[in-house]
A and B are shown apart, each in its own frame.
Chain A
């Protein structure tokens, strides 16, 4: 009986160099192997890929229809030369999936088509560097053409159509259409598992953070397990309040200014200071105070949260780094809100009385940072901050008949939501590969009449490649791609082929996220161009690239 090799065992390879033509042939083999596994998942009638389990002693394979996840599961090809091609493709597909949530299979199909076309041209004596240069120029033209095809979508029905084109689940799409119609591109959406059998959504007013009261003794409503204040004032301290005497100036100002409800948000609070606040709650007439832990898992997140709360409520944070302490508080540090609430784990503000103009500027600044950032973690943090400041949040509760179904649906909902954000923010394009087919017209003349053979080749390669996603979609649905494309070429750009009904449809009914489609094309061309210039493969002792993708 053969013994299974443990998953984490690290094979060691001899170092070595691989030259042409083997290098390119093997890269091509690896690339096409991986893309062949992902191509069947493209389109609304996607077929599935069974991936054997990574967990030992678990016999049932995972059945997947998401190109991004399939690529992530393929961690190494057997032949190390081919593995280089596969892992370069894998890095592209994973990046597309992480950043956009959709378009992985499209990017994979485009990459293979461009690389294969490019390699064919290089075999006839073309120059790789010049081909790459012209591919990138042709890419720019194609992106401009895609921009011209892009239009915005509004309204829950249209947005539900976009969602359905991504997730192919009508019920989920309907809910996501409604949610994104309300929260827009930047709103906060939590997707959570539910114990029910259905999908449902919930909207919550105001801003909320994942940190709660320092002490459960401050919970007033013992049924809802929370404390709600009307017209509270807020004091923000980004440091630990140790000395109970430091809370006295704050309490004196509150009493002088006839503040009846006060929320102290501090990084930490000593037991003595807490005791002082509890005593104030008992002794001071018409006055209640609650103390909330400052949100954020680290100093940076906490500073950001304090900044957001301060702007939303017109408070001024007492910053330890600037030498501030709670004992220095003045009335000018106090913020205001219509309502404030806190539980053991969360707190929130409704109707913060900050300056709306300042709040708008702050949100615009965060949006600019989000657009400029490539770091997924930073993007997620910024997205959450903006979402909170928009004044409400939505929660999509995922129910189902089994834990597996709920998990799968939750993953699908998260992926769709990510692509929906891009669609709401950047608009949509004709779906089903039509946008790519339409934009080929800008490449056609140069592919035939250019002076430079490398330029002509680059345009022709991209022209052909742009038809591949549509071909894959039609093939996967059981149609003859050539016939469908020929039918469509007789019609205006406003029509597409609906593979579900098998009929020509109005382009407005088939849509894809513009940002996703543009990112897939850009990533595929840039990666293919780079891969075409690889002349030599140098193997190190252990193929690190296979273990650190993306």
Chain B
């Protein structure tokens, strides 16, 4: 499916749905990875503005990436993907070295999120039977390429239309702003951690020292003051663009068509589709390969999407049990007597 034959999505006035009377347009990011130069200015600007602390002075060896992943102390993360030339078997030990580093790296996250896995006696990372993580991009997408390729992508909170973190927050600390973004209120968060498992992208995480959940606020304070978010402001190549989501979607469609026209057939938009598992993103991405290559889930679904169905089934089951119980009593009461 190309951008041009999409039907425009129905306007989702998220803020109005959330009780705002005269909200501004829904705002978001469009991250065009085709012009990202991997300078990480977004990571630094975000941390400076939002007072996000340093996230470990550890070398991960994932190409130029020493941040590793989004977490409580990294609200922007630039992924670097080195895609080997077909036919040149890259060193397998490299993948293993990175994997070990990544698992053991000290991180500013909690046990539910990005904290290192417990180590077994002797310092080795305990095997919990989890699937191993290779370097993003290894062994994928090489079929059509003839050259080495180095992809860069600045990842961030998706500000989903159906936000799993928000849905499961029991305290109301997570809320939908008038800009349609999703923000944690630090003074209300009780650190329960439900949101961490509620996010299908692994974005939100808790800081260990106070246990409170942390993630990108899309610079809510700056938006309130009419300013561009820090990362988009710092991006030198306009890889990170900020604006009303409707405009960004149009821009993203145009850029995609342009790249397809230039023969970059594998380019695709991520989070553009309002019918996807999270109702579409508030932050869109233009990717140059399939999402898995960048370490993004290909078809994420908000866990709470099935909640009504679950509750219906739970209700049905309860009713069935109730009936069965009644039946049993009835049977006991009215059963045949010997």
Q: Do A and B bind? A: no
Interface residues of A (CB under 8 A from B): none
Interface residues of B (CB under 8 A from A): none
